[in-house]
Amino acid sequence: TSVVNKIAAGEVIERPASVVKELMENSVDAGATRVDVTVEHGGSELVRISDNGCGIDEDQLKLSVSSHATSKIVDADDLFHVGTLGFRGEALASIAEVSQFRLRSRTPDSDAASEMYVNGGQLVEITPCGAAVGTSIEVRNLFFNTPVRKKFLRTTQTEFGHLSEAFTRIALAFPHVHFTLKHGARQIYDLPPSDNWRERLAAFFGDEIATHLIPIDNADETIRLSGYVADPKFNRANNKMQFLFLNGRHIRDRALQHALSEAYRGLLLTGRYPIAFLRLQMPPEMVDVNVHPTKLEVRFQDSGRIYSQLLGTLRTKFLSTDL
Ligand code: ADP
Ligand code: MG
C-alpha cells in the first residue's frame, strides 16, 4: 500500500459523510429497495450500511476494492452515457485504504454469502458466511492509518451533521427506497418507501412546509423539470431547503440557483434562497458529471436552455397561481 493510494483515497473520502454517500449510492445502483445505515460517533468509529440489492459475486469481491474497478462502465463511450450514480470505481478502494473494512455480500443465485476483510488497504481474508441476499459493509476507524487526516475530523456532532446531510440528499432523491438511519442507539430516520415525493419531503422538513409546496412539472422532448417550490405567499427562505437533483444525483448549480432567485424576485420579503425541491431529468449525454471527484458540480451541454426552462416554468406557474 503506497502513499499515493492514501493520497488518492483522500480525494474521494474526506470524512465519514463521504463514506455514507458513496456506500448509499452503491446500494441504490445495486437496485436495493431497502438500505439501513448505522453509524457510531458521527461515523468516525463505524459506518455500517446494509442493502437488499443485487450483491457482488464472490469472484468479484477482490476486484470491487481495487482502484478504478467498476462494473458500471464497460467501454470509454459509456462515460458519456452514465446512468448510474457511480462510475469511477474508486470509492470502495479508497474507503478500504483508510479504514478497517468488512464487506459481506450474496447474490440471488448463490446459496451462501462471502465476507471480505481489508485492513488499511491490505486484503486479510475472504471467508464464507451466512447472510441474506444483498450487501452489508462495515467501515471502522476511518483514517486510523492516516493520522493527519484523522486530526481534521471535527466533533461527533459536526461529523454527524455532514453525514446526515449526505443521507438526506440520497433519501430525497430516491423516495421509492426504504431508508433508515441510526446514530448509536438512536433511530434518527425511518423512511418507508413512497410514490409521492411530497411525503418524503414532509418526513424531512415537516408537514407545514409540505403543505405550502406548489408542484412543478414541465417537460419538452428531452428535458423534464419537476418537483416542488414553496408557495411565494408562504414567504420563507432557507438555503437548507433548496435541493436540485439531476438524474437522481444531488447537484449544486450556480446558474440554476440564480434562475430560482430571479423567479422569486420581489415575491420574497426575507432571505435569498427560496425553498425548492427540483428534479431535472435529461439524457445522460447532455451533461458531463465527470467534472469533480465528488460529482457535486456538473457541466450542462446547454445551460442557457435549462436556465430559461426553469425561469420560464416558475414564472408561468406563479402567474397562473393566485398569489
Ligand atoms: P463505482 O460505484 O464507481 O462502480 P465503487 O468503488 O463504488 O465504484 O464500487 C465498485 C464496484 O463494487 C461497483 O462497480 C459494484 O460492482 C460493486 N459494488 C459496490 N457496492 C455494491 C453494493 N452495495 N451492491 C452491489 N455491488 C456493489
Ligand atoms: Mg460507487
Instruction: For residues 283 and 224, give the distance between their C-alpha atoms in angstroms, rounded to a whole number.
Output: 10
Domain locations along the chain = 3-191, 204-320
Task: Give me the pLDDT at residue 197, please.
Answer: 96
- For residue 64, give the 3-state DSSP assignment: helix
Task: Give me the pLDDT at residue 315, please.
Answer: 92
Side chain identity at residue 197, one-letter code: W
What is the residue with the minimal CA distance to atom 21 of ligand 1? 26
Tell me whether strands 34-40 and 178-183 are parallel, antiparallel or unpaired.
parallel
Instruction: For residues 86 and 194, give the distance between their C-alpha atoms in angstroms, rounded to a whole number.
Output: 24
Q: Is the CB of 51 under 6 A from ligand 1?
A: yes
Task: Give me the pLDDT at residue 234, please.
Answer: 82
Q: Is the CB of 92 under 6 A from ligand 1?
A: yes
**Closest C-alpha among 241, 258, 240, 242 to residue 303:** 258
- 25 C-alpha vs ligand 1 centroid, how far in Å? 9
Note the ligand closest to the C-alpha atom of 90.
1
Task: Give me the pLDDT at residue 281, please.
Answer: 94
What is the residue with the minimal CA distance to atom 17 of ligand 1? 64
The 10 Å Cβ neighbour count of residue 251 is 19
Task: Give me the pLDDT at residue 68, please.
Answer: 73
CA dihedral for 240, 279, 252, 99, sign (positive or negative): positive
pLDDT one digit per residue (tens) for the chain, 323 residues: 567 777 777 778 999 999 999 999 999 999 999 999 999 999 999 999 999 999 999 999 999 998 877 776 666 565 556 677 776 778 999 999 999 999 999 999 999 999 999 999 999 999 999 999 999 999 999 999 999 999 999 999 999 999 999 999 999 999 999 999 999 999 999 999 999 999 999 999 999 999 999 999 999 889 999 999 999 888 677 778 999 999 988 998 989 999 998 998 888 766 678 899 999 999 988 888 766 666 678 888 889 999 999 999 999 998 887 66
To test ligand 1's pocket by mutation, which of 25, 47, 59, 70 has the most ligand atoms within 8 angstroms of CB? 70
Question: pTM of the predicted model, to two decimals?
Answer: 0.92
Task: Give me the pLDDT at residue 3, please.
Answer: 74
DSSP 43: G
- For residue 317, give the 3-state DSSP assignment: helix
- For residue 234, give the 3-state DSSP assignment: coil
What are the beta bridge partners of residue 92? Answer: none
Contact (Cβ atoms closer than 8 angstroms) between residue 44 and residue 142: yes
DSSP 130: -
Give the right CATH number for 3-191 from 3.30.420.480, 3.30.565.10, 3.30.1220.10, 2.40.50.140: 3.30.565.10
Q: Using the CB atoms, write b or e for 161-186: b if 16+ within 10 Å.
A: ebbbebbbbbbbbbbebbbbbbbeee
- 200 C-alpha vs ligand 2 centroid, how far in Å? 24
What are the beta bridge partners of residue 214? Answer: 229
Task: Give me the pLDDT at residue 285, please.
Answer: 85
Task: Give me the pLDDT at residue 323, please.
Answer: 63
CATH topology match: 3-191 vs 204-320: no
Instruction: For residues 202 and 210, give the distance between their C-alpha atoms in angstroms, rounded to a whole number.
Output: 5
What backbone phi and psi angles, to 5 degrees, belong to 288? -105, 110
- The conformational region for residue 40 under phi > 0 = left, psi -120 to 50 = alpha, else beta, is beta
Contact (Cβ atoms closer than 8 angstroms) between residue 228 and residue 242: no
Side chain identity at residue 192, one-letter code: P
Give Cα 298 to chain centroid, integer Å. 14
Give the CATH class of 204-320: alpha beta
